[in-house]
Amino acid sequence: MTELETAMSLIINVFDNYSGKDGKGDTLSKGELKTLIEKELPGILRNAKDKSECDKLMKDLDIDGDAEVDFKEFIVLVAALTSLGHERFEKMGKK
């Protein structure tokens, strides 16, 4: 697989590893999302460990309002964080 195909496969696997523990297998509950963030994004989303921050993130990601985060909603988070990281690295490179 190419690097991009590998990266996409890893994102899918991470989502699948955390989804379905609290209910539906194809979505993340608030608890599953919190665990995923704590384990997979500890350096990026430190404030999300706080319950109120996790609640806010869940509300922001839950576009359809079903109190769960599906893969399409999750990928919005991944894309936003990747975009912010890209901008940060660009700025660091220009210094």
What token pair was written down for 64? 């359809």
User: What pLDDT does 92 receive?
Assistant: 75
User: What pLDDT does 48 receive?
Assistant: 58
Q: What are the pLDDT tens digits along the chain (95 aa)?
A: 999 999 999 999 999 999 998 878 899 998 999 899 889 988 776 655 566 777 888 888 889 999 999 999 999 999 988 998 888 767 776 65
User: What pLDDT does 70 receive?
Assistant: 94
Whole-number Cα distances in Å, 76 to 40, 51, 62, 91, 93: 16, 21, 10, 23, 26
User: What pLDDT does 57 receive?
Assistant: 84
